[in-house]
Structure 1
Amino acid sequence: EAEARREAQLVGMRLEEEARETAHVKAKEVLATTIQRLAPDYTVETAVSIVDLPSDDMKGRIIGREGRNIRALEQHTGVDLIVDDTPEAVLISAYDPYRREIARLALGKLIADGRIHPARIEEVVAKVKQEMEQHIKEEGEKACFEVGVHGLHPELVKLVGRMKYRTSYGQNCLQHSKEVAWLAGMMAAEIGVDAKLAKRMGLLHDIGKALTHEQEGSHPELSLQVLSKYGESPQIINAALCGHENVEPETIEAVLTEAADGISAARPGARRDVLESYIKRLAKLEEIAMSYKGVEMCYAIQAGRELRIMTKADQISDLDAHQLAKDISKRIEAEMQYPGHIKVIVIRETRAVEVAK
């Protein structure tokens, strides 16, 4: 009996070893097949957009008398406008792709229209911001259609579209999420599990990144909040938290999503660490300024060497503005590490409007 038991144990161990080997080979096969089937062409995002001009004469009109037009454009969009000797082009520099796109579209409209002055700039930028909301919704719908994910809450569709204007280590978040959805879906189909669920998990796994600039909290926490709020299933929420917060995957589809996430991010040339640390530094600067009462908007420009803060005139007096600049400077010194100096500019604008009848 003891002999038979020992033989049974040996057979069991051999079968287990064979199963492990077979699983390893099968996993490699599945990965190789799916990676070959998905060949996205993609370049790392930069922090600069180029606007073509009809002629070099337009540069003078963009700058305006004593630089008033270029100042108004920079103030309303929060970007750096670089007008140099590049023939028939101006450069828009900003770490936030959303702001950069608003500035690019607004400048294009102003150039086409020909009327360029501070009041018109303010009007066009406000109009472009409204149009961008519709554009973001359309981008979200397009992404869902491309991937084959249906039945998302309209607000989630908008957040998917907003990921087009977010980057992670220089990799576009929407492109990355679509890649993860495609890879997870293909791997699920190869091994015979729910491909639709895997695609949904892939598309929504980084949804919190669409909110990181506006709301406090890490992107896994924000993913948890929005997915719960808009009625996604516990499996989808689990997949979004896998790989973060030490959460273990509860389904095979979640394991595949985590693997697909790793494949998309680890592709050579997909990400850049230096750009991410630069973006985080600029975001931290803006976060510090926005935490003070009476601050309406703030923009970190000149590669983070200048912080412009617009205040609410009814909440902050001229004396308060001086004190605010001093407080923010001290806090930046205490909380951040940076080379050189950072200039903190607090702007308090008072507008008195009356209508002559």
Structure 2
Amino acid sequence: MGTMGFVLLTLGALAVGVVAGVLARQQVVERKRRQEKELSDGLLEEARKEAETIKKEAILQAKDNIFRLKADFEKESKETRKELQNLEKRLLQKEENLDRKSESLDKREGTIAKKEKLLAEKERELEQRSQELNRLIEQQRVKLEELSGVSAQEAKELLIKSIEEEAKHEAALIAKRIETEAREQADKKAKEIIALAIQRYAGDYVVEKTVSVVNLPNDEMKGRIIGREGRNIRALEATTGVDLIIDDTPEAVILSGFNPVRREVARLSLERLISDGRIHPARIEEIVEKVTQEIDTAIRDAGEQAAFDVGVHSIDPEIVRLLGKLKYRTSYAQNVLQHSREVAFLCGMMAAELGLNEKQAKRAGLLHDIGKAVDHEVEGPHAIIGADLAKKYGEPPEIVHAIAAHHEDVPAESILAVLVQAADALSGARPGARKELLESYVRRLENLEKIATAFNGVNKAYAIQAGRELRIIVESESVSDADTVLLSRDIAKRIESELTYPGQIKVTVIRETRAVEYAK
């Protein structure tokens, strides 16, 4: 009983304790809840106050912005009103100006209308007067035509023709005067033209006709030809008078010079030195001297052979030597010695047909180009140089004259001179003689004559001297002496513009006088 009671008491105490604990915890919880509620209420109050503060600040800021915008708008509105007022003032001023201008225009229109009325009346009067004048002019024209027997159109044509002929005559006189003045300085101008022609001459032809090529066994030979410090090449150039060109051309040396005889001496000398192998200044002088003697002998042999072939004898040895030199001379790619033979044979045949001295004709033909052997050393045309040489070495006067006249440097005064001219032209004109095809040669001659005959007043045209000269015969009734100058120049200009040809073409217009012009 006692134990049970104790247990019960204990349980009761525990229950009381549990209940007390529960109540105490409830009180703690309740207190915490009240504290939290108070805290949340405080936070809510602070948040409400802060929100009201932010709201008030936003309202104040909005009011400030509205006030500022309102002030800006009023300022802009004020400026806009001011600009509008200014524009209105300007418009009013423009309207006033337009009104004044309109009034002024109205006045002017009135004045112009009056003037137009006056002008219309004057125009009517002028029209009437013009009709009257035309009627009077027509009457006068009819009377003039009746009196003169020529219509108005014919009179115009006569007047135009007269003015044209007068202008041509004056132009011809001016051209003749200019030509006369030019002749006064012909020598100086000719030298300038020759110098310019030499500078602009076709390079291919110059290279072909002024250089020789010597083949070498190997490129090491170039060093031996040059020698120590260039003494061998200097010795070669000094003894031969020819320039040696040693460049990158493989296994070859180029010899350059205008004198074909010296160039041939240099070529043979260099070939012998190369084959001999001993190349030094003393040996060079020795070889060059020997080759020079051999070439001189060959030249004499060539001259003697040419004279023998033609059948001409008793020629001075110096003339024979000059004749042999022509073997190394070319003209338009034609060998001059062979050309001289052809001319001699042609002269002989023509002389035989005419019953003249055949041997004399052959002699003149063979020697006609003898001046070309020295024309690079002596100034002047080769025909005059050749005549001087022939005279110097005792040729007969008729031979001397035929040589001098074969290119009309002097007038031909004998049949022999004319024969040499014709034979020289035939030899040069032979198709193939000067590297020109027959078709192109004939076509060029036909074109030359066709160009000349296309001009008014030309009666006949002849292309002669292998196309190097064009002779034109004009009608004396339609072409005056002064007109021949213009005609020769016009034909020469037409040839220059329409044809392609080597060298130059001499244009000769023949009437009572001759006017000569060159197409270059």
Matched, 1:102 2:268: no
Q: How does 1:49-128 map to 2 (within 5 A)?
A: 49-128=212-291
Residues 166 and 235 of structure 1, relative CA distance in 2, 3 Å threshold = same
Q: TM-score, normalised by structure 1?
A: 0.57
Q: How far is the alpha carbon of 1:191 from its aligned partner?
A: 4.5
Aligned to 1:140: 303
Q: How well do the aligned residues superpose, as a CA RMSD in angstroms?
A: 2.8
CA distance in 1, matches of 2:285, 2:314: 38
**1:32-82 deviation per Cα after TM superposition (whole angstroms, max 9, x unaligned):** xxxxxxxxxxx9972222223334432222222343322322232222323
Instruction: Tell me which amino acid in the other structure corresponds to 2:303.
Output: G
Name the % identity: 61
Given that 1:238 and 1:247 are in contact with CA atoms closer than 8 Å, whether structure 2 keeps it comes out as: no
Structure 2 stretches of 5 or more lacking a match? 1-204, 436-520
Q: How does 1:236-255 map to 2 (within 5 A)?
A: 236-242=399-405, 243-251=407-415, 253-255=416-418
Instruction: Tell me which amino acid in the other structure corresponds to 2:263.
Output: R
Instruction: Tell me which amino acid in the other structure corresponds to 1:258.
Output: Q
Higher helix share: 2
Q: How far is the alpha carbon of 1:114 from its aligned partner?
A: 1.1
CA distance in 2, matches of 1:249, 1:96: 34
CA distance in 2, matches of 1:154, 1:121: 29
Instruction: Tell me which amino acid in the other structure corresponds to 2:246.
Output: V
Q: TM-score, normalised by structure 2?
A: 0.40
Partner SS state of residue 209, structure 2: coil
CA distance in 2, matches of 1:267, 1:80: 36
Given that 1:198 and 1:254 are in contact with CA atoms closer than 8 Å, whether structure 2 keeps it comes out as: no
Given that 2:227 and 2:233 are in contact with CA atoms closer than 8 Å, whether structure 1 keeps it comes out as: yes
Instruction: Tell me which amino acid in the other structure corresponds to 1:221.
Output: I
**1:178-223 deviation per Cα after TM superposition (whole angstroms, max 9, x unaligned):** 2211222233344443332221111111222223334444433332
Residue 181 (structure 1) aligned to one of 344, 348, 358? 344
Structure 1 stretches of 5 or more lacking a match? 1-42, 273-357
Q: How far is the alpha carbon of 1:110 from its aligned partner?
A: 1.0
**1:258-300 deviation per Cα after TM superposition (whole angstroms, max 9, x unaligned):** 111112234466559xxxxxxxxxxxxxxxxxxxxxxxxxxxx
Aligned to 2:325: 162
Aligned to 1:263: 426
Q: How far is the alpha carbon of 1:108 from its aligned partner?
A: 1.6
Q: How far is the alpha carbon of 1:129 from its aligned partner?
A: 2.4
Indicate the structure whose relative CO is greater, using CA pairs within 8 Å and at least 6 residues apart. Answer: 1
Matched, 1:221 2:380: no
CA distance in 2, matches of 1:270, 1:66: 47
Residues 254 and 246 of structure 1, relative CA distance in 2, 3 Å threshold = closer
Residues 48 and 270 of structure 1, relative CA distance in 2, 3 Å threshold = farther
Partner SS state of residue 81, structure 1: strand
Instruction: Tell me which amino acid in the other structure corresponds to 1:240.
Output: I
Matched, 1:149 2:315: no
Instruction: Tell me which amino acid in the other structure corresponds to 1:165.
Output: Y
Partner SS state of residue 193, structure 1: coil
Aligned to 2:16: none
**1:143-163 deviation per Cα after TM superposition (whole angstroms, max 9, x unaligned):** 111222222122211121122
Instruction: Tell me which amino acid in the other structure corresponds to 1:96.
Output: N
Given that 2:387 and 2:400 are in contact with CA atoms closer than 8 Å, whether structure 1 keeps it comes out as: yes
Instruction: Tell me which amino acid in the other structure corresponds to 1:46.
Output: K
CA distance in 2, matches of 1:58, 1:92: 15
Q: How far is the alpha carbon of 1:137 from its aligned partner?
A: 1.2
Aligned to 1:231: 394
Partner SS state of residue 255, structure 2: strand
Matched, 1:198 2:365: no
